[in-house]
């Protein structure tokens, strides 16, 4: 069975410039898959830089084949998807060792609001809508963090099936397991996602915006009491500096987080900007016009449950102009 793939839309700012539209229809069909592959690889790896490397490697393998070999492939998009997914799977299997050597907390790379995270495809297996993760949901930071707790096979099976709507038969070709085993992998991954927010009261979108805006204002005003009122008493704050810049250790408890934030806000020329981070309200902290930190938030009811502050400059390259 060959995987069928449909083109999607991904805004240009986070994707390297593509060549002019080729006149060869077959070549056009291949190059048009680039955005779909970036979308897929980012969700599998949590890193836009790694996703772009995967796509580059995928195309290198395509063009390493002879013209006759390429012409014999009925579905170039399906071939590219299989190869990209397998490269991601290999990277995920080696990621544990890389993460163990990473300095401090590892947080997925944040992406700015000008990225249109759409994609997937029509058709595919019929799934209960309640079990389907939407494409927008699949890039929010809380979701990506849960994905980090999954095994590589769980993550690939879940993303391909529940997010991009490939059948388990198609997923099995990529993961190298039976369709039944892939169904179990996706089910296990789905339980992890549900358990991560099982007891929480959903926070409406408008309320999330208000919470982040009030958080920004309270932080700017160094108002500890206001910050405490916005944070859940058991809130957690995580920071990722990658060993390249200073990053605070995990901080727990609303009051401790509030006092820490006020303490670090004394740095000169800090500017706090409201920005969409991975599809959710977030903050960008700049100093001297340079982005120093990107913050994504987790919400529960009327409070901020926690945040992830990415300070590693290697993960902030897409945030040069905000």
Domains of the chain and CATH, by start: 12-196 (no CATH), 205-319 (3.10.450.50)
Distances 175 to 17, 88, 223 between C-alpha atoms, Å? 31, 11, 51
pLDDT of residue 321: 53
Provide the pLDDT for residue 128.
46
- pLDDT value, residue 28: 72
Token couple for 302? 């009327």
The pLDDT score that the predictor gives to residue 21 is 43
Closest-CA residue to 227 (of 240, 239, 238, 212): 212
pLDDT of residue 25: 60
Q: Which positions of the chain have pLDDT values less than 50?
A: 1-23, 115-132
Q: How many CA atoms lie within 13 A of 76 on its CB side?
A: 21
pLDDT (0 to 100) of residue 98: 78
Q: Which pLDDT belongs to residue 112?
A: 86
pLDDT, position 13: 28
CA distance 170 to 172: 5
Give the Å distances, CA to CA, from 121 to 38, 114, 125.
Answer: 15, 22, 11
Please give the Cα distance from 262 to 221 (Å, whole number): 9
pTM over 0.75: yes
The pLDDT assigned to 137 comes to 79
pLDDT in tens, 228-252: 999 999 999 999 999 999 888 888 9
């Amino acid at each position: 069975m060959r995987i069928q793939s449909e083109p999607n839309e991904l805004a240009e700012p986070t994707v390297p410039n593509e060549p002019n539209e080729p006149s060869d229809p077959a070549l056009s069909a291949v190059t048009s898959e680039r955005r779909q592959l970036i979308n897929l690889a980012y969700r599998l790896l949590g890193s836009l830089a790694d996703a772009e490397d995967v796509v580059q490697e995928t195309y290198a393998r395509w063009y390493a084949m002879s013209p006759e070999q390429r012409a014999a492939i009925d579905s170039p998009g399906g071939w590219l998807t299989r190869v990209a997914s397998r490269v991601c799977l290999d990277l995920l299997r080696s990621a544990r060792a890389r993460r163990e050597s990473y300095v401090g907390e590892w947080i997925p790379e944040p992406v700015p609001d000008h990225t249109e995270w759409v994609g997937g495809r029509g058709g595919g297996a019929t799934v209960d809508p309640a079990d389907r993760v939407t494409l927008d949901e699949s890039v929010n930071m809380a979701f990506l963090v849960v994905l980090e707790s999954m095994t590589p096979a769980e993550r690939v099976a879940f993303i391909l099936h529940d997010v991009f709507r490939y059948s388990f038969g198609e997923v099995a070709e990529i993961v190298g397991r039976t369709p039944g085993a892939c169904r179990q992998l996706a089910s296990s991954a789905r339980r992890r996602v549900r358990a991560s927010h099982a007891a929480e009261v959903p926070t409406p979108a408008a309320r999330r915006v208000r919470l982040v805006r009030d958080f920004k204002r309270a932080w700017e005003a160094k108002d500890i009491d206001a910050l405490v009122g916005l944070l859940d008493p058991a809130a957690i704050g995580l920071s990722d500096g990658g060993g390249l810049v200073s990053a605070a250790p995990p901080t727990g408890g609303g009051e401790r987080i509030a006092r820490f934030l006020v303490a670090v806000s004394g740095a000169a020329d800090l500017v706090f900007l409201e920005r969409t981070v991975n599809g959710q309200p977030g903050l960008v902290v700049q100093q001297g016009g340079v982005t120093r930190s990107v913050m994504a938030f987790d919400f529960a009811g009327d409070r901020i449950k926690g945040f992830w502050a990415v300070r590693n400059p290697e993960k902030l390259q897409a945030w040069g102009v905000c």
